[in-house]
Amino acid sequence: LLQGSSRLPALLQARGKVLFSFGEPIYVTLEDLRHLDELGERVRKAMLKETVLTPVSLVCHAFGKDTSLTLTELYERMEREKNIAYKNGYKMIPGVDQNANPGYIWKLAKPHLAMPWRLRSILKRKGDTINVVKPEIVEYYANTVEHMFE
């Protein structure tokens, strides 16, 4: 791309980790093929079970429909929802276990959600209050993990 250059354009620089898991194999019989709707539902559930809870999705889901929370309220919701996800058999990204405190999880999510130098600043902190700037993006991230809380 930039021959001889040791600097990569900003778009090509590493931004985080990609996590992917195939999970347990699903074996399909001829009988399963006769009932494609049921097979599709089995596959969908198996795929959802492999989803991990990321700091960004946890923060966004903790907001719910609210557009403003104090940091204390956000931390309380994050802790509650993290525990529900674990109770339902889901896990967080590697390196963040069930005992991780909400402040640490917020620290991991903040560069992706609330940094003013990012073009996509989604949340904005004013004092002890976090305000949603782009509710459609918060809703998108929250929806990716909604099944963990059902």
C-alpha 44/C-alpha 54 separation (Å) is: 20
Which DSSP state fits 10? Answer: G
Quote the longest CA-to-CA distance of the chain: 61
Q: For each of the chain's 150 residues, which pLDDT tens digit applies?
A: 444 445 555 555 566 665 556 667 777 788 877 888 888 888 888 888 888 899 999 999 999 999 999 999 999 999 999 999 999 988 888 777 788 999 999 999 998 888 766 656 899 989 999 999 999 999 999 999 999 988
Say which residues have a Cβ less than 8 Å from residue 94's Cβ, sequence separation at least 6: 17, 19
According to the model, what pLDDT value does residue 46 have? 80
According to the model, what pLDDT value does residue 10 have? 54
- Containing 82, the helix (H) or strand (E) segment is helix 71-87
According to the model, what pLDDT value does residue 60 have? 96
Q: How many CB atoms lie within 10 A of CB 108?
A: 19
C-alpha 43/C-alpha 45 separation (Å) is: 6
According to the model, what pLDDT value does residue 137 have? 92
Say which residues have a Cβ less than 8 Å from residue 25's Cβ, sequence separation at least 6: none
